[in-house]
Amino acid sequence: MGTETLLPNGEKIRRAIKWISEITLEHPDWDRKKIVCEAEQRFDLSPKDCDFLNRHLAQNTSPCGQDQSKPSP
């Protein structure tokens, strides 16, 4: 059993928001939409959580759609 199944309800989205905040502070020039898309995959978020991130954290939001490229490290 993986540790992801043991996380309290809402912990994945909290970790994703924290990660997005850290990456955005470290790399303000990176495309925020791509950062949000990476967080959705990295933290295995539900469609509901992905929608929340897109509405509240991505600039000029729309679902991640076709361009799923990761931000440059």
Q: What is the pLDDT of residue 51?
A: 92
Place of tokens 């989205």: 13
pTM: 0.70
Place of tokens 């924290």: 18
Q: What is the dihedral of CA 32, 70, 40, 66, to 10 degrees?
A: 90
Q: What is the pLDDT of residue 44?
A: 93
The residues, any chain, with a CB within 8 Å of residue 24's CB and separated by 6 or more, are 30, 32, 35
Phi, psi for 16 (deg, rounded to 5) = -65, -45
- The answer to whether residue 69 scores a pLDDT higher than 60 is no
Give residue 9's pLDDT band: very low, low, confident or very high (50, 70, 90).
confident
Q: What is the pLDDT of residue 4?
A: 54
